[in-house]
Structure 1
Amino acid sequence: MATAPPPPSYNDATNPGYGYSDPNAPNAGYGQPPPPQPAGYGYGTGYAAPPPGGYSQPQPTGYAAPKPEDTSYTVEEEWAGQSFSDKAVRRNFIKKVYLILAAQLAVTFGIVCIFSLVEPVGLFVRHNIWLYWISYALFIILYIVLVCVREARRSFPANFICLAVFTLVFSYMTGTIASSYTTESVMIAAGITAAVCLAVSIFAIQTKIDFTLCSGLIFGLFMVLLFFGLSVMIVYLVTPVDYFAARVLSCVWGGLAALLFVLFLIVDTQLLFGGKKYSLSPEEYIFAALQLYLDIVYLFLIILSLFGGKK
């Protein structure tokens, strides 16, 4: 009776399996692979079968997905000019501001001419001074709204309506003041103002000095002008002052005021054109036109008070 052959051993060099006893045996450890397993990663690896639905992708560690870009303007971006990098946007912004400013100055100059040239109109506004104080109150209210309320100066058409009413009110105030001076004085003051504003604007655009950083200097000059004016008023009320002394004090105050508004015009022009430390957002065209308009008209009134002859 024949005996059955012994079972193969893993230590047998002739075994086609994974032998490790004899390193010189042929195909030792690299024989035929075992039969395929029903699940897992091969023979004796210890990995379980993948779950139904495939393998899940490994999650990244230490890295957060980028957030969507925020296109809104913060307060720092509005004054730092980060939203002002595109030159086409800047050109359109400047064009829009100067078109609005030209319309405002045209309305104001037209009303000033009517109040100065038409004597019955000038007499009416001078004799009804209560209309001036009503327009002054509306001027303060509208200015606070346009400067402090962002939606009021950015929402169309409310921004243009507020600006139009503001321009009419301030033009009435300017015309009332100009009606007290001779027509020649008004025209000369208007010409001087135009020449000064043109020269100052060219200087503000071409200079390398960043006047947007001079807020402390401008504030200090404003406080000096304010307290000097209050002191002059107290002197006028308490002690009688002759004409010469009063004229000197008026010229000194007017000179400081003109210098202050020239600085305001330089700063507002540089904020408009950009390229400095601070600049306006392209959405602030109403604010830019408003500030330039006030700088020019106040400079006109100061020059008129310095050199103008009253009727």
Structure 2
Amino acid sequence: MKLAVMGAGAIGCFYGGLLARSGASVTLVGRAQHADAIRERGLLLEMGGERHSVPVGVATSAAGLADAELVLFCVKSGDTEKVGAEMAPHLRPDATILSFQNGVDNAARLEVVLGRPVVPVAVYVATEMVGPGHVRHHGRGDLLIGPSGRNEEILALFGAAGIAAQVSENAIGALWGKLVVNCAYNALSALTRLPYGRMIRLEGVEAVMRDVVEECRAVAQAAGVTLPADMLDSVLGLAAMMPAQFSSTAQDLRRGKPTEIDHLNGFVVRKGTELGVPTPVNRLLHTLVKAAETSRS
């Protein structure tokens, strides 16, 4: 099976690199700075204290998707419609599209643009780009994938690459759970400029995180989504699992890039307004990150 990764950032490079290292045919579609570096010396994949140079195909336009039977869609949530429109003319009729994105509505939004099914995937990994064509892994890497006609092929492909993956009929529910985690960590890590382990020890931070989780739970319940009973424990326990991790929002702010906060805390605020559920803590965090984006632009 030929694969392509649309969006060669930290997530796309990590999974694309693992798949290519296992022998899969992979093309990464991304910015010229990454493509040039990868052409010159391979994709640098740093994990477990080791650095690997992985040969992988690269392209800088959606035309690089032309032969792909499986496409991992790894772009920022704010770019879903724009990039979806760019890739639509280049997709094979039988290509399977997997949305490896934050937020709960990206697969549905991409389906509208493409006019074809898109499979939602909940991605549990901590990664960052530390240079052109150089991705560093900090923790986890497991996937929860929605059902498709290629379940067995996809699971075999990921399994051969050492990627823990399972198919679930409730991938959207899992994405809601991940959304809650992101709402609790991303903005706070960005605003404090601290990794999770140090951040959570600050006075008052855990209480704020508890408030965020309760607001998200109330919005989810009003939307007909049931979150796990141990949601709060899962959220608070993440800091111990990934103490050195900075959130993707923190990484984006540090690099002067737009964040996905509109699709994290901002999504909860919009959904809460729609359903009549107050979300003052999520609103404040969303507002502060948007203000930080403006001040650093």
Higher relative CO (Cα under 8 Å, sequence separation at least 6) belongs to 1
- Using the size of structure 2 for normalisation, the TM-score is 0.23
Name the structure with the higher strand share: 2
